């Protein structure tokens, strides 16, 4: 689904702790900015993503805690990045400035890459847009995704070494979830208006499972869709 952003005005704000910033200001043109968060002594990090409208990509592929690339054509839309370290649990927030966007058309894209070795928890609240999350290589411990309007592609394929929970709440749009064959899958999936398609899973007592998997690792999924199709791909 392609969305034309009808955008926003906001007060520019940047709060960075342990963060490296590189960017340029080009009035009226698409701007590209990069930000990095270095690893610290936090044993686990909770990541909050708050995006009103745009295109979001989340992947692995950095030796730092996070590398991020942002594209936008209005300096007031510059994302806010804030990291609070902790001896046990750090807290990283990436969010869109919380002001209305009216009468502005243009790109708004976030490309976030995370460390594969650090245990991570994700909480993503997204308004309108397309989301592509490839998290199978990460040390994922929990995932929550709340969608407004748009499509979600979530790829969890990999070799998980810990159990974790996934909660997805969809508004209007389709959700496709790719699941690892190396883990036990237990999925509760309910759609409002739309179909539920499950490949490589069997339905038992109202839950979708890969009944023949024999793994010490289990992924529990709780998926509720609004308007649109839900696809679970386990092979």
**What is the model's pLDDT at position 16?**
35
pTM, to two decimals: 0.85
Cβ neighbours, 10 Å, residue 28: 8
DSSP strand pairing (202-204 vs 207-209): antiparallel
Q: What residue spans define the domains of the chain? A: 1-155, 158-235
Query: CA angle 154-158-161, nearest 5°?
Result: 115
pLDDT tens for residues 37-56?
999 999 999 999 999 999 99
Token couple for 122: 């994700």
Cβ neighbours, 10 Å, residue 102: 9
**What is the model's pLDDT at position 192?**
74
Q: How confident is the model at residue 19 (pLDDT cuts 50, 70, 90)?
A: very low
SS3 content of the chain, % helix, strand, coil (to 5): 0, 55, 45
**What is the model's pLDDT at position 7?**
34
pLDDT tens for residues 180-190?
988 999 999 98
% of the chain beyond a pLDDT of 90: 68
Per-residue b/e over 194-212, b at no fewer than 16 CB within 10 Å? Answer: bebebeebeeeeeebbbee
Q: What is the mean pLDDT of the chain?
A: 86
d(CA 100, CA 178): 34
Q: Is the pLDDT of residue 140 over 90?
A: yes
């Amino acid at each position: 689904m392609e969305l034309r952003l009808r955008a926003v005005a906001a007060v520019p704000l940047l709060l960075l702790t342990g963060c490296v910033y590189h960017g340029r200001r080009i009035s009226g043109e698409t701007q590209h900015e990069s930000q990095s968060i270095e690893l610290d002594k936090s044993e686990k990090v909770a990541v909050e993503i708050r995006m009103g409208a745009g295109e979001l990509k989340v992947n692995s592929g950095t030796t730092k805690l996070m590398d991020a690339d942002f594209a936008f054509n209005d300096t007031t839309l510059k994302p806010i990045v804030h990291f609070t370290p902790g001896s046990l649990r750090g807290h990283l927030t990436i969010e869109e400035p919380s002001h209305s966007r009216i009468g502005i058309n243009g790109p708004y894209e976030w490309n976030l890459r995370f460390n594969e070795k650090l245990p991570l928890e994700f909480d993503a609240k997204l308004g309108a847009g397309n989301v592509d999350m490839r998290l199978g290589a990460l040390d994922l411990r929990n995932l929550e995704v709340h969608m407004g309007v748009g499509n979600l592609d979530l790829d969890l394929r990999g070799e998980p070494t810990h159990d974790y929970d996934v909660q997805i709440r969809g508004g209007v749009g389709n959700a496709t979830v790719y699941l690892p064959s190396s883990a036990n899958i237990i999925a509760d999936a309910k759609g409002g208006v739309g179909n539920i398609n499950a490949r490589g899973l069997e339905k038992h007592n109202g839950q979708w499972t890969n009944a023949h998997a024999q793994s010490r690792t289990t992924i529990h999924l709780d998926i509720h869709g609004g308007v649109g199709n839900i696809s679970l791909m386990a092979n």
